[in-house]
Structure 1
């Protein structure tokens, strides 16, 4: 019988009957979509469709595809979420933002995720609450807010009234704060700043396996977000060349740079945002004095490499955990609940950690459900 782990995060999603582990598949623009999000959900975790650079028409199509893949009835809650870039919504204007959010709400998604937002955009969280209250379908959209500092976490709680905080450390692949601290430091600081009555906190950045997730659960996190792990799946839209480059990568094969976006000519990201990707010929081209870097030449090489699927001159986002991954797996087996729960429970037992106030005995793997409330850990 499949076992499940329950935390404050999973209890927010009672309609997600597939959910068996407190793990979220990161919304990865350019690498994920309906198929990956649905497979993550079917595997026992919680998937997100990145709205990122998509328009309303494409997003509708993606959500229709996800509903079919999940075999979810037309009016039922769709057991996955949609993620938006705050800066992109601002660039598009209020009318387009309203349309984009309405697409998700009309499809009755379980959650909406905001990242790279500005303070004045908390009004969109209120918009979602108002639309939910006016709905005749008893809808309650769970709002995720990505943060990379204590200040942002406090705004997410006090102004956005976020249901879930996603703490993204500097180890994360893809876009993030150029000045953000490592995940361990960020998570501890947020917990210290918001010790009581806080929303569930998910950790993100460089995580690659169940034992790492278990370590953060033991420290009081309510779940984890994995991104790079899901790039190495057939369902990811990364090219074969990019996936092979990820498989070959080591733990020291990534670098953070703002020049990834300059080379791709992807503009608009907020000041102070950069990205972590694989080291390759492209990143070698970044080196040296800024005056010596001919960005026009690099952009042409990126364009040519993309057409040829040559990962040496392509941007391939990846987190620090990429060195732990050496094969391409389907999204379901990666987070199949029995595998991940067993890994987590094994860590808690072998690490000589005792849970206080846990309703079930975690050493008994025959238990169907293990509930992890907000916990304090003590070491032997």
Structure 2
């Protein structure tokens, strides 16, 4: 049994309908390349930096770091510069909007490679950036796969009807990292939007809390064309997640993944669109925030804990399936394991 005939595999030229999420501060060129080499599809993230025209040392370093990760992925994948690169790159729409000229520069850095796909999420005007890519493709006689991540039936309906994207990622409430507080669980979300699709329309993928091949199979059985995993791939040697964070995540007990504004409030990383919060491991900072402690005090405590290597207040993004991951494995082994488990459950 295989995934022959799967529409996502046909569209991306992959063997397994699994994609790694573009996680800011976590994904690397080696992680994206590892997923692709194993038969899935890997994505890089431009993250929270690099969206300015490089006029300062910080923005120049961010831009060069992004280019370095692209080069690393290309080397591992064995592709020549200028030829298509079989990975994708994720962009945060609200940061593109914040500095449009810098955003265009970073987008062009990916499109000029050229990468196979771009992913847009969390923006008030994603259609503008979709058009930017389409115009670039038309001018250069190319076809870049466009992916959008959305969390409500209404928004997904617009993407299907008006935006003419290639792939829509339906992100459920279980997803680690940033997401919309009001989003339904992934199974409810995909079950609600799949009837809205038409032949020739965008493929629907599911994301949120997925950590095992059995869960991948469940979503495929609902009718999605593929599945996104984030937390599972953050627990690989190739990810940039710090070793103390990986250790803390692997040793965390069950049911500690929570949605909260505390993660951004305490780190002072606000600016996300209205309705967006984060899902991570419950910490002392979350407890104190929910109790109503002064935010300036919580920020000072976080800084002190970071200096002392204390993980009790560290921000560790984690979807609801984190406790199903028992050990660190290379990205290639993760994809292979997911494939075996998924096919076994589909067969059953």
Tell me how far 1:89 sits from its aligned partner. Answer: 0.7
Residue of structure 1 aligned with 2:201, choices 191, 198, 202? 198
**Aligned residues of 2:266 and 2:302 also touching (Cα < 8 A):** yes
More helix by share: 2
Matched, 1:141 2:120: no
The total of aligned residue pairs comes to 336
Matched, 1:85 2:88: no
Runs of 4+ in 1 over 4 A off after TM superposition: 2-6
**SS in structure 1 at match of 2:143:** coil
1:105 aligned partner: 111
Residue of structure 1 aligned with 2:249, choices 241, 246, 249? 246
Matched, 1:327 2:334: no
Q: TM-score, normalised by structure 2?
A: 0.92
Flag structure 2 segments of 5+ consecutive residues without an equivalent.
51-62
Q: TM-score, normalised by structure 1?
A: 0.84
**Aligned residues of 1:52 and 1:88 also touching (Cα < 8 A):** no
> Using the alignment, how far apart are the partners of 2:190 and 2:3 within structure 1?
24
**Aligned residues of 1:250 and 1:324 also touching (Cα < 8 A):** no
Tell me how far 1:340 sits from its aligned partner. Answer: 3.1
**Aligned residues of 2:2 and 2:343 also touching (Cα < 8 A):** no
Flag structure 1 segments of 5+ consecutive residues without an equivalent.
351-380
Q: Which is higher, the Rg of structure 1 or of structure 2?
A: 1
**Aligned residues of 2:3 and 2:16 also touching (Cα < 8 A):** yes
String of CA shifts for 1:202-221, please: whole Å, max 9, x gaps: 10000111111111111111
Query: Any residues of structure 2 matched to 1:161-200 within 5 Å, and which?
Result: 161-194=164-197, 196-200=199-203
Query: Any residues of structure 2 matched to 1:250-289 within 5 Å, and which?
Result: 250-288=253-291
**With CA pairs under 8 Å and 6+ residues apart, which has the higher RCO, 1 or 2?**
1
**Aligned residues of 1:87 and 1:117 also touching (Cα < 8 A):** yes
Moved more, 236-245 or 196-205: 196-205
Tell me how far 1:195 sits from its aligned partner. Answer: 5.2
Residue of structure 1 aligned with 2:27, choices 10, 32, 47? 32
Residue of structure 1 aligned with 2:78, choices 71, 81, 97? 71
Tell me how far 1:341 sits from its aligned partner. Answer: 3.0
**Aligned residues of 2:153 and 2:193 also touching (Cα < 8 A):** yes
> Using the alignment, how far apart are the partners of 2:162 and 2:104 within structure 1?
19
> Using the alignment, how far apart are the partners of 1:227 and 1:284 within structure 2?
25
**Aligned residues of 2:3 and 2:9 also touching (Cα < 8 A):** no
Tell me how far 1:250 sits from its aligned partner. Answer: 3.4
Matched, 1:213 2:216: yes
